[in-house]
């Protein structure tokens, strides 16, 4: 396998492949080796793990993951980068698999994958994380490098501006913890904000079995936050005419807004509206 990427090598390879970092996709390539090794270490990747990496780019993080994991599968949307990764890991043992596809359209991954570690595109981080946990129940734990505000949004608590749909939907499947702050200076191109490494741990099967169906929960959450500044009653009444009665049963005021309800209260409210 080739040597770790320096900034000069990264720029050279991107130019050679005629790849310009996409603002639309929020592409920022990490290249500082000490930070890369820190991420792989904090993700606690070891020899029993089959790791999934989404958006590996030129494979800077992939190299470090491949040295630690039992198996590594990469999902890269750009065909030029996927071909480059094929050449980088051509003779690597154990083999590194590359899937050249948009992760958000991916319906199946190898059954043995149990962990995901990724530096996610800023603009797509939240949809990718939610898709991963909604679609692939085998993922037990993940570490994601995301924009700092996105990390704070996923970890937000009720009665705050960042608390909302992504917070609640991810909480249905998993717990989220901030692991480390990462400087913007380790990326090319250098973003305008710092990044945060988060750990996402799937809830146990016993916990998930006690929850109402996800599609019912997700619909309630989506509609509750449809107009954030409106009372939750006004948002939900078109779908659930008895919503005021349900809130009263829970001991909640009809003046309450969606951001005031805890995850447990949304679960309870979902169970109530599903009972009609």
d(CA 98, CA 275): 45
Structure-token pair, residue 118 = 């990724």
Residue 172 and residue 265 in one domain: no
User: What is the per-residue pLDDT across 85-94, written as a single tens digit (0 to 9) for each?
Assistant: 999 999 999 9
CA angle 144, 37, 183 (to 5 degrees): 60
- In the predicted model, what is the mean pLDDT of residues 154-162? 97
Q: Which of 204, 226, 244 is the last residue of a domain?
A: 204
Q: How confident is the model at residue 3 (pLDDT cuts 50, 70, 90)?
A: low
d(CA 192, CA 195): 10
Reported as half-sphere exposure (CB side, CA atoms, 13 A), residue 218 has a value of 10
Which has the higher per-residue pLDDT, 121 or 181?
Answer: 181
User: What is the per-residue pLDDT across 136-147, written as a single tens digit (0 to 9) for each?
Assistant: 999 999 999 999
Residue 184 and residue 140 in one domain: yes
Residue 146 and residue 20 in one domain: yes
d(CA 235, CA 222): 10
Residue 174 and residue 196 in one domain: yes
Residue 109 and residue 186 in one domain: yes
CATH number of the structural domain spanning residue 249? 1.10.8.100
Q: Are strands 29-30 and 187-188 parallel, antiparallel or unpaired?
A: antiparallel
Residue 144 and residue 244 in one domain: no
Residue 187 in any domain: the answer is yes
Residue 157 and residue 262 in one domain: no
- In the predicted model, what is the mean pLDDT of residues 89-106? 96
Q: What is the pTM for the complete model shown?
A: 0.95
- Please provide the average confidence, as pLDDT, over all residues in the chain: 95
Total tally of structural domains belonging to the chain: 2
Q: Which of 179, 204, 229 is the last residue of a domain?
A: 204
Identify the domain containing residue 147 by its residue range: 7-204
d(CA 27, CA 46): 27
CATH number of the structural domain spanning residue 186? 3.40.50.150
Beta strand segments in the chain, E: 29-30, 50-54, 71-75, 96-99, 115-119, 141-147, 174-182, 187-188, 195-202
Neighbour-count burial for 29-67, b at 16+ CB within 10 Å, e otherwise: bbbbbebbbbbbeebebeeebbbbbbbbbbbbbbbbbbe
User: What is the per-residue pLDDT across 198-256, written as a single tens digit (0 to 9) for each?
Assistant: 999 999 999 999 999 999 999 999 999 999 999 999 999 999 999 999 999 999 999 99
Residue 2 in any domain: the answer is no
Residue 186, exposed/middle/buried by CB under 10 A (0-12, 13-18, 19+)?
buried
Residue 198 and residue 257 in one domain: no
Which has the higher per-residue pLDDT, 266 or 275?
Answer: 266
* Angle at which helices 60-68 and 33-42 cross, to 10°: 40
Residue 269 and residue 172 in one domain: no
């Amino acid at each position: 396998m080739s040597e770790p990427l320096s900034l000069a090598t990264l720029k050279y390879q991107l130019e050679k492949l005629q790849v310009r970092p996409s603002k639309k996709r929020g592409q920022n390539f990490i290249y500082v080796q000490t930070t890369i090794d820190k991420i792989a270490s904090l993700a606690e990747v070891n020899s029993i793990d089959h790791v999934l990496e989404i958006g590996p780019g030129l494979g800077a993080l992939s190299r470090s993951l491949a040295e630690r994991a039992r198996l590594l599968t990469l999902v890269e949307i750009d065909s030029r980068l996927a071909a480059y990764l094929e050449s980088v890991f051509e003779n690597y043992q154990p083999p590194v698999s590359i899937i050249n596809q948009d992760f958000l359209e991916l319906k199946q991954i190898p059954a043995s994958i149990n962990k995901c570690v990724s530096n996610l595109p800023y603009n797509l981080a939240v949809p990718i994380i939610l898709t991963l946990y909604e679609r692939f129940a085998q993922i037990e734990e993940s570490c994601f490098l995301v924009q700092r505000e996105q990390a704070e949004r996923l970890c937000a608590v009720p009665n705050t501006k960042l608390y909302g749909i992504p917070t609640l939907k991810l909480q249905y499947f998993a717990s989220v913890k901030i692991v480390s702050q990462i400087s913007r200076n380790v990326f090319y191109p250098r973003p305008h904000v710092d990044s945060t490494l988060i750990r996402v741990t799937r809830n146990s099967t016993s916990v998930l079995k006690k929850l109402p169906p996800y599609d019912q929960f997700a619909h309630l959450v989506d509609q509750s936050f449809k107009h954030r500044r409106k009372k939750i009653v006004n948002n939900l009444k078109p779908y659930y005419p008895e919503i005021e009665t349900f809130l009263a049963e829970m001991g909640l005021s009809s003046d309450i807004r969606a951001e005031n309800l805890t995850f447990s209260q949304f679960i309870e409210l979902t169970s109530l509206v599903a009972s009609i």
